[in-house]
Amino acid sequence: MQTPKRNYFKTGIIHFMAFPETIGGEGPVVETVKRIVTDEYFDAIAVSWVKDSGARRQVASMLAQSQMEVAYGAHPRLLSQGLNLNHLDQSERQKAIATLKEGVDEALEIGASSYVFLSGKWEEATQEDAYKALVESTLEVCEYAKSQGDLVMAHENFDQDIDKASLIGPTPLAARYAKEIEKSFPNFGLVVDLSHIPLIGETPEEALIPVKEYLAMIDIGNCVTASPSLPRYGDTHPCFGYPDSENDVPELVAFLRVLLDIGFLNEEDPPVVSFEVRPGEGEDSEVYIANSKRTLNEAWALLD
- CB neighbours of 299 closer than 8 A, spacing ≥ 6? 249, 252, 253, 256
Cα–Cα distance measured from residue 181 to residue 104, given in angstroms and rounded to the nearest whole number: 18
Say how many C-beta atoms besides its own lie within 10 A of residue 34's C-beta: 15
Question: Left, alpha or beta for 241 (phi > 0: left; psi -120 to 50: alpha)?
Answer: left
DSSP assignment of 54-107, as one string? HHHHHHHHHHHHHT-EEEEE-HHHHHTTT--TT-SSHHHHHHHHHHHHHHHHHH
pLDDT at 267: 96
pLDDT, position 188: 97
CATH architecture of 5-302: Alpha-Beta Barrel (3.20)
Give the model's pLDDT for residue 213. 97
Output the pLDDT for position 124: 86
Tell me, what amino acid is at 29? Answer: V
List the chain domain ranges.
Answer: 5-302
pLDDT digits over 106-162, tens only? 999 999 999 999 999 988 899 999 999 999 999 999 999 999 999 999 999 999 888
SS3 at position 127: helix
**φ/ψ of residue 101, rounded to 5:** -65, -40
Mean pLDDT by 10 residues, the chain (304 residues): 94 98 96 98 98 97 97 96 95 97 97 97 92 97 96 95 89 97 96 97 97 97 95 96 97 98 97 98 97 98 91
